[in-house]
Amino acid sequence: MSESESESVGAADTAPKSAFAYRAFVLYWLARFFNSFAIQIVSVAVGWQIYDETRNPFLLGMVGLVQFAPALLFVLATGAVADRYDRRVVMGLCIALEAICAASLGVFWVLHTAEVDIGHPIWPVFVILTLFGLARAFLTPSLQALAANLVPREAFANAVAWNSSAMQASFTIGPAIGGLLYGISFQVPYIVAFAMFCVAMVLSALIPRTSQRSSGEKRSVETMLAGVRYIRSNPVVLGAITLDLFAVLLGGVMALLPVFARDILDAGPMGLGLLRSAAGVGALLTAIYLVRNPIRNHAGRIMFAGVAVYGLSIAVFGLSTTLWLSIPMLFLMGAADMLSVNVRATLIQLATPDDVRGRVSAVNSVFIGASNEVGEFRAGTMAALVGAVPAVVIGGAGAIGIAALWARLFPDLYNKQKVT
């Protein structure tokens, strides 16, 4: 933040509490929206093409795993980069790499379909997705940590709600648009995603330079581990992060949506887009509600209730054989998940000093990646062994069990009244 902006947002009593009162945040929010939207379009296109080509649910799980692997391997470096270098620059470079990956995927599928001397194996897709995951691994900590530099503390809860709405709007619209674009032609989703990544890159370049505290420590393994040490020393933050890790790891269902859309619900690519969008709609409406009605009391209990309802809706979805029951269950899943996400994201960022925020965000992003990507790998592997329906139902029941267990293991988190 510039010096003049710092003065304007420094007074706690007079600073606007709406994050959209700050131009830097508006640019950041738009960049994040376009980036997330493009990721969703790519995800729908890749998932459908791989399953359509192979009919192998295990490979759907691998899509998530190869994207998560870079975040795990480079967890210490990604956080240190976010704390040491200009987070806006890191953000722009990572989005540029995402754009290159989207273009590469489009070119590959064109050549693959035309059978232009690359053979039939689809392993190059996983190489490109690994690079895509590498870009997202370095992007996430910088993206998360940058938000706290763009608005004052009093507006941060509102900023988290707006960020959640951007993510969920992309989760809502992106898959449906991705399915529609794929229905036009398999090349179109990658062209549109590339264009949106370019827009996000330009917007990130327009964000004003911010003040960014640095610990001034020399680079070493010890400084890189500062985020891990901080999380271990704070049971509330530790409990919030690990609750998400295990609940979503067990409850992961999104990777199996192509299986349900094609083989169980007979819904086709447009149906797949609707299924992927349903969770986003529920989360988006919840996020919009939270923008104007932030959680003020009983934050911990609301978060745990959200996780329990999340697990229940997944279990019912797994048992459903009709599209019109499956869509409401995914809607409820998204709404419940947003409650817990809102509490967790606000709590973690506000509880973390700025000089280690990038490293804490990096560890948090690995946990989120583990819950999402490894959770999808778990779902794909289990579906290959016992079938898609048991894999989803058992996962939903497991998420409910995790909520009950964590409420006992982390009573301070369960009884947490406020997140600010």
* 284 close to 303: Cβ distance less than 8 angstroms: no
Residues present in the chain in total: 420
Say if 419 falls within a structural domain.
no
Reported confidence tier of residue 277, pLDDT bands at 50, 70, 90:
confident
Q: In whole angstroms, what is the distance from residue 79 CA to residue 37 CA?
A: 24
Residue 363 neighbours by CB under 8 Å, 6+ apart: 75, 79, 227, 228, 231, 241
List, for residues 104-158, the tens digit of each pLDDT value: 999 988 887 756 444 557 888 999 999 999 999 899 888 888 887 888 877 877 8
Report the amino acid identity of residue 211. S
Say if 108 falls within a structural domain.
yes
Residue 184: domain span:
17-210+219-414
Say if 22 falls within a structural domain.
yes
pTM equals 0.69
Q: In whole angstroms, what is the distance from residue 208 CA to residue 29 CA?
A: 13
Q: In whole angstroms, what is the distance from residue 406 CA to residue 315 CA?
A: 20
Mean pLDDT of 270-291: 82
Which pLDDT value is given to residue 403? 93
Which pLDDT value is given to residue 367? 76
Report the amino acid identity of residue 162. W
Say if 254 falls within a structural domain.
yes
Q: Which CATH number does the domain housing residue 302 bear?
A: 1.20.1250.20
Say if 250 falls within a structural domain.
yes
Q: In whole angstroms, what is the distance from residue 335 CA to residue 166 CA?
A: 14
Which pLDDT value is given to residue 385? 86
Tokens 């490894």 belong to residue = 374
- 3-state secondary structure at position 410: coil
Q: In whole angstroms, what is the distance from residue 350 CA to residue 348 CA?
A: 6
Mean pLDDT of the chain: 82
Q: Does the CA dihedral 237-238-243-249 come out positive or negative? A: positive
**Structural domains in the chain (count):** 1
Say if 122 falls within a structural domain.
yes
Residue 116 neighbours by CB under 8 Å, 6+ apart: none
What's the chain's Rg over C-alpha atoms? 21
* 376 close to 276: Cβ distance less than 8 angstroms: no
Q: In whole angstroms, what is the distance from residue 229 CA to residue 222 CA?
A: 9
* 45 close to 189: Cβ distance less than 8 angstroms: yes
Q: Residue 102: name the closest of 181, 183, 184 by CA.
A: 181
Mean pLDDT of 203-217: 73
Phi, psi of 188 (to 5 degrees): -60, -40
Say if 7 falls within a structural domain.
no
Residue 213 neighbours by CB under 8 Å, 6+ apart: 353, 354, 355
Say if 376 falls within a structural domain.
yes
Lowest mean pLDDT among 186-190, 267-271, 329-333, 370-374: 370-374
Reported confidence tier of residue 32, pLDDT bands at 50, 70, 90:
very high
* 52 close to 112: Cβ distance less than 8 angstroms: no
Helix 235-251 and helix 323-350: axis angle, to 10°?
A: 160
Whether the per-residue pLDDT at 44 is higher than 60: the answer is: yes
Tokens 């887009």 belong to residue = 273
Q: In whole angstroms, what is the distance from residue 74 CA to residue 262 CA?
A: 36
